Amino acid sequence: MACTTVLVGKKATNDNSTLIARTDDGFYEVKKLVVVSPEKQPKKYKSVISKVEIDLPDDPLGYTCCPNVDLSHGIWGATGINTANVGITATETITTNPRVLAADPLVTLQKAKTKKEKDVPGGIGEEDIVSIVLPYIKTAREGVIRLASLLEKYGTYECNGIAFNDENEIWWLETIGGHHWIAKRVPDEACVIMPNRFGTDDFDFDDALGEKKAHMCSADMLDFIKENGLDCNTGKRSDLRDIFGSHSDSDHCYNTPRAWFMGRYLTPYSHKWDGEHAEFTPESDNIPWCLVPDRKITVEDVKYMLSSHYQGTPYDPYTSHNTGVRGTYRSIGINRTGDTSICQIRGDQPEALKGVEWICFGSTTFSTMIPLYTSVSKIPSYFSDVKPDVSTENFYWASRLIGALADPNYGTCVQFIERYHAKTVAEGRRLILEYDRKMKESNDYTLCEECNEKIAKMAKEQTALAMNSILRDASVHMKNGYNRADN
């Protein structure tokens, strides 16, 4: 999955919450947001893709997730928050290099070659991770520990990065080959920007193999690096990207430009991103994994970055004039996104109110982001009752329709998109604030579902209004239009 991830530590946000966010850029999968109750969690998990079977613990927590509607290729839970108020986003596909894959090959399904033989299962992957990890963890750190144990036992058939957050910490784990891994705690004052590359740069192995305060890794990691000649650092610096990462030409049109745009947005004053003497360009390999932003970061900032098409730069594919480089780089907001979520854990709220999941379906450039409480037994039908066929009766398909109609008419439709986003986010925030106060005053935290239903009603009404305006504009600009003054 060609995704983009943003992580924001609690001291970097405007309200001291932790934020983990990702665009799930698949192949137009139809998605929905649901709650999985403990009794619906299986005792044995079987992967559709790799056929691996995993026995699961007996005491799962309830959790939200964003699975595929068509389960023929697996669940692909993507994101969620459990009842212990721990969030996950899984996964960001990352790059590596042939040296790593030779030293620790990926664990892929081995199909039987004859009728007498049996398939040899592969490892775990993006299809599986939310389902086999999120129900069994009570902190972000526990998320790293559980996933790491599964990677070491079963291996993985792909290279991925996974984020976990609770009210205090955010952890980022990256897989190394088939069985190895590293993990790093996001500094509280920092933001992480991840665009489909191996991301972690500086890393403290003494901490990872000792106290594990802010770093963790496979127990044999240093031996693994040395025995396989993986370290390409010169001694002047130590950067994990020069050990485990890639430096390909495709990175420079597909990956690094996204980090450049997000870094440029986060630190416009403390770093120079444009011009002849820029510290970083869209093709720089050394854009930092994390940055301390020049101001506090909000949910709206995260949504803006994940909706980017390089607006305000010559690379914007929607610019009205030919800059010579228009559309050169892969945008962050793209057409094939299935879902985008921001898992927000609010440490200053009572337990029942800590988790808020902001959900967006379809291309983030055009779709809006809606907040929902996660301490609930069900998600409103507008987000959860999604079928494979197109319908304006649910948020997924309505969002996809808005994007498809507005994209070819960007110049005339952007005003409707901006108003739609501003209205829905403001009203969603207003309702969350109203019910935060109401539930704390009454000590009745069962009203989370009532609030979610009101938010769903608002989202449906505003989405319909936006679609009306965008459809009319798209109709006016159809190529078969013809005007003639008949009297």
List active site positions: 3
DSSP string, 374-437: SSSS---HHHH---SS--TTSHHHHHHHHHHHHGGGHHHHHHHHHHHHHHHHHHHHHHHHHHHH
Q: What is the 3-state secondary structure (H, E, C) of 268-280?
A: CCCCCCCCCCCCC
Contacts for 52-58 with beta carbons within 8 Å, 24 or more apart? 52/121, 52/122, 52/123, 52/124, 52/128, 52/154, 53/121, 54/124, 54/128, 54/132, 54/150, 54/154, 56/132, 56/135, 56/136, 57/136
Please give the distance of CA 335 from its chain centroid, rounded to a whole number.
Answer: 15
What residue has token string 């031996």? 223
Cα–Cα distance, 101 to 159 (Å, whole number): 10
Type and span of the H or E element at 261: helix 256-266
How big is the chain by its Cα radius of gyration, in Å?
A: 23
Q: 55 with 44: CB under 8 angstroms?
A: yes
SS3 97: coil
Q: 12 with 189: CB under 8 angstroms?
A: yes
Backbone torsions φ then ψ of 340, nearest 5 degrees: -135, 135
Please give the distance of CA 9 from its chain centroid, rounded to a whole number.
Answer: 15
Sequence-ordered strand ranges (E) for 130-272: 160-165, 170-176, 180-185, 191-194, 215-217
Overall residue count recorded for the chain in this entry: 487
Q: Which residues contact 263 (CB under 8 A, 6 or more apart)?
A: 193, 271, 273, 280, 287, 288, 291
Sequence-ordered strand ranges (E) for 67-218: 79-81, 87-93, 160-165, 170-176, 180-185, 191-194, 215-217
For 379, what's the count of Cα atoms within 13 Å in the CB-facing half-sphere?
Answer: 28
Please give the distance of CA 49 from its chain centroid, rounded to a whole number.
Answer: 21
For 431, what's the count of Cα atoms within 13 Å in the CB-facing half-sphere?
Answer: 23
- A 10 A CB-CB count for 387 gives 14
Cα–Cα distance, 387 to 393 (Å, whole number): 10
- A 10 A CB-CB count for 139 gives 18
